[in-house]
Copies of this chain bind each other. A is one copy, B any other.
């Protein structure tokens, strides 16, 4: 399937509406990318304003989801889309849900970053901080690859998104171990509180990578017409490797 398929409709209106839907998903994805990038820079430079703007972006992202649902309902109600159009529509609904939840998780991390800047609590010295940064960097890369795959209708990067997600499961384990170590040594309610916040932040970051992977799966569904959620790992690898050849 290539993007031109969306341009072969006799009905110019359907054509324009599908193009609008396609662009709307990319726009929403771009906002989440921006949110994650702002957050990464906020964590790197201890920048309150950037963390705050990442948090505020969530409202815009939520509105985009509703706009996408509206566009989908419009196309469905007024026209008679073909099978591949329908895959785009179903896929747009799914991706919008994942993007919206990525935004929600990002807000949790933004709050930690803002808290860090506005009090004299310095998270950067915490052992888990490095892991959080790693998870967030991976999130940015994964969403970028998934959205590139969507915009080019190309699944060749999805395999690397899978691998990255597996690596991040490992990073999460290390982060959890580091936090538990610190909790054991914590001798004040304030220290416990800070570690629990960090724990919530690394879990949120790991969920962001999950959602990025879901989006990769949706791209495979769109391009290949194949639902890979129920494939075992081996069958999925096969599919993606066959594609690479």
Contact = CB atoms under 8 A, between A and B. Distances in A.
A112 interface: no
A223 B108 CA distance: 33
Nearest to A89: B76
A140 to B, nearest CB: 23
A62 B94 contact: no
Given A180-B192, A180-B196, A229-B66, A90 B93 contact: yes
Interface in A37-74: 62-63, 65-66, 69-70, 72-73
Contact of A69 (B62, B90, B179, B183): B90
Nearest to A83: B77
Contacts of A90: 69, 72-73, 76, 93
A10 interface: no
A67 to B, nearest CB: 10
A186 interface: yes
Contact of A62 (B70, B187, B200, B230): B230
Q: How many copies does the complex hold?
A: 2
A86 B66 contact: no
A229 B70 CA distance: 13
Interface in A165-203: 176, 179-181, 183-184, 186-189, 192-193, 195-196, 199-200, 203
A224 interface: no
A34 interface: no
A94 B192 CA distance: 38
Given A62-B229, A86-B77, A199-B196, A186 B184 contact: yes
A136 B179 CA distance: 27
Contacts of A27: none
A195 B76 CA distance: 49
Interface of A: 62-63, 65-66, 69-70, 72-73, 76-77, 80-83, 86-87, 89-90, 93-94, 97, 176, 179-181, 183-184, 186-189, 192-193, 195-196, 199-200, 203, 227, 229-230
5 contacts: A66-B230, A179-B196, A180-B196, A183-B192, A200-B203
